[in-house]
Amino acid sequence: MRHHLGCAPGTVSWGALPTERTPPVLEVDSGDVVVFDTVSQEGLMPDQGRDPVSYFGAFGVPADGVLAEAAEIAASGLGPTLGPHLVLGPVRVRQARPGDWLRVEFLDFDPRVPYGVISSRHGRGALPGELPSKPLVSRFCALTPDGRYAVFPHRGGEALIEVRPFLGLCGVTPAGPEALGTIPPGPYGGNLDLRELTAGSTLHLPVQTEGAGFYVGDPHFAQGNGEVALTALEGSLRATVRLSVADAGPGATTWPLAETPDAWITVGLDEDLGEAMRQCVRQAVHLLREVTGMSADEAYLYLSGAGDFALTQVVDITQGVHCRISKALIADPCVGRFPERAPVYDH
């Protein structure tokens, strides 16, 4: 079955993740597809005036070019609490129980507006105290007519950003009665800011509460690994997602695991970047052991030769590292051959 969920004061929270006591705004069955019409918080923030029509109007966007939901939320009594992000949800998946895994398949992403914003504020980027030079620095970026690029204006001219839409924030409801802020990610997913989660990818999340309580937010048109200035290229998206309950993800432990058609992606999260890296390595070793039958020593060595580790983001209090492991280079232990023809060299 296919469902639609849009942003409105009654379907979003601002800055806090749902708790196990938060009533769902939608209930679905395992295998159902949900179309989420997300709204970016950029243009709605207090330091931007809480008036998206005026904010984007200053860049030449007509009033009818601003999403009605954005104006409605900004004019409501809602305001940012524990974090800046608008959170759409939670969605209850009827069959989901703690100990299960929620398989989130990202089927499609479509920009809802032809523009986005990159911001650095509050001294919270990778260079606090050094950049930005003012309390709030932003760039308004219009999409090219074909939607493939965003135009980044600068004092020397223009540069392009390739549009690769994804959701910066998506996860299941954390266990416990206390609401958590939206900034740091965790075992439940949340603000992962993992740029690999584009259309065609899958995110496996360990269910923490009855019904999973899935939510989305922080839509991105594009992001560089590291997200160093604080935000990505933020812009409202229509995200089409399939939600399915599974006994376990491939090589799963108790931590989110991403998958693309050609790679597995493990994540490490910690306030200490070194510990995030170590955690990501441990997750990658575990995945290779489970999926390929390698020993821990073999997996450790293999990752040193073939694992592609990168900084996910360094600006969300809890910092992120991810590792991309190509599926095409690993023989399927069940059939003794490679999923795709990979070069094999004689020695």
Assess whether pLDDT exceeds 70 at residue 183: yes
| pLDDT tens digits along 9-52 | 999 999 999 999 999 999 999 999 999 999 999 999 999 999 99
User: Model's pTM, two decimal places?
Assistant: 0.94
Q: What pLDDT score does 341 carry?
A: 36
| pLDDT tens digits along 331-343 | 655 434 434 433 3
Q: What pLDDT score does 247 carry?
A: 83
Is 156 exposed, middle or buried, given 0-12, 13-18 or 19+ CB atoms closer than 10 A?
Answer: exposed
String of DSSP letters for 166-234: EEEEEE-PPSSSSPPBSSS-BTTEES---TT--TT-EEEEE--STT--EEEEEEEEE--TB-TTS--EE
Candidates 116, 71, 87, 65; CA nearest to 10 is: 87
pLDDT band at 254 (very low <50, low <70, confident <90, very high): confident
| pLDDT tens digits along 184-235 | 999 999 999 999 999 999 999 999 999 999 999 999 999 999 999 999 999 9
pLDDT band at 181 (very low <50, low <70, confident <90, very high): very high
* Most distant CA atoms of the chain, gap in Å: 69
The mean pLDDT value of the chain amounts to 93
Assess whether pLDDT exceeds 60 at residue 269: yes
pLDDT band at 124 (very low <50, low <70, confident <90, very high): confident
Q: What pLDDT score does 110 carry?
A: 98
Sequence-separated (6 or more) residues with CB below 8 Å from residue 28: 1, 3, 34, 91, 92, 93, 94, 243
- Residue 146 DSSP code: T
Q: What pLDDT score does 145 carry?
A: 97
pLDDT band at 123 (very low <50, low <70, confident <90, very high): confident
**Percent of the chain predicted with pLDDT > 70:** 94
Q: What pLDDT score does 310 carry?
A: 98
| pLDDT tens digits along 235-244 | 999 999 999 9
| pLDDT tens digits along 76-120 | 989 999 999 999 999 999 999 999 999 999 999 999 999 999 999
**Percent of the chain predicted with pLDDT > 90:** 90
Backbone dihedral angles phi then psi of residue 309, each to the nearest 5 degrees? -90, 140
| pLDDT tens digits along 291-327 | 999 999 999 999 999 999 999 999 999 999 999 999 9
Q: What pLDDT score does 339 carry?
A: 44
CA distance 91 to 217: 13
